[in-house]
């Protein structure tokens, strides 16, 4: 015995002219909101939470320092120790000087003083390496820093 009656299918037709409008709308939305990630993050980073935060303005004046343990796939080669990533390679504190100098080169004379160094640091990182980085930045006269954080979800 059939419990469900099969519905008769009616061949219908609908206009698909509005589909392209929708697709275009979505396209523009993603085009506007997208930000091209210019570096691949090679370390695992879970940002700490903070409430006293502000949006980072002027992305072009910002350079990023990533600190965390290497991604799972890279741990075979690089171990599980905390590492620092500048641009797209693992670096040490001594490389910061060149890194900041290279970023300064790209900026115009007037913007150089505005250069911000953003810290993307995993919350399990020990302060030792963070302090070393900060001391090196002081030596390089790159004094504007920003600790990137997440807004807590309530």
Is the four-CA dihedral 94, 97, 99, 102 of positive or negative sign? negative
Of 4, 10, 36, 110, which one interacts with another protein (CB under 8 A)?
36
114 binds another protein per the rule CB under 8 A: no
Quote the distance between the C-alpha of residue 66 and its chain's center: 9
DSSP labels for 57-85? P-GGGEEEEEEEEEPGGGHHHH-SS-EEE
Contact region for another protein (CB under 8 A) — 1-9, 83-91, 93-101, 137-145? 137-145
Q: Is 56 in the site for another protein (CB under 8 A)?
A: yes
Burial of 154 from C-beta contacts in 10 A (0-12 / 13-18 / 19+): exposed
Question: In the complex, what is the shortest distance from the CB of residue 75 to another protein, in angstroms, rounded to a whole number?
Answer: 20
Start-to-end CA span in the chain (Å) = 53
**Which of 2, 5, 37, 76: binder of another protein (CB under 8 A)?**
37
| Closer residue to another protein in complex, CB, 6/135 | 135
Q: Which residues would be at the binding site for another protein (CB under 8 A)?
A: 19-20, 23-24, 26-27, 30-31, 33-37, 48-56, 59, 62, 116, 118-119, 121-128, 130-131, 134-135, 137-139, 141-151
């Amino acid at each position: 015995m059939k419990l469900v009656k099969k519905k008769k299918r009616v061949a219908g037709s609908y206009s698909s002219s509005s589909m392209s409008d929708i697709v275009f709308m979505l396209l523009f939305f993603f085009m506007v909101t997208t930000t091209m990630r210019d570096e691949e993050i090679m370390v695992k980073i879970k940002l700490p939470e903070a409430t006293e935060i502000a949006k980072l303005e002027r992305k072009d004046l910002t350079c990023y320092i990533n600190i965390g343990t290497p991604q799972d796939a890279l741990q075979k080669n690089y171990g599980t120790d905390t590492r620092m990533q500048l641009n797209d390679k693992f670096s040490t504190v001594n490389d910061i000087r060149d890194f900041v100098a290279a970023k300064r080169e790209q900026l115009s004379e007037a913007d150089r003083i505005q250069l911000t160094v953003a810290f993307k640091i995993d919350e399990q990182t020990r302060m030792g390496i963070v302090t070393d980085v900060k001391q090196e930045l002081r030596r390089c006269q790159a004094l504007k820093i920003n600790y990137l954080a997440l807004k807590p979800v309530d």
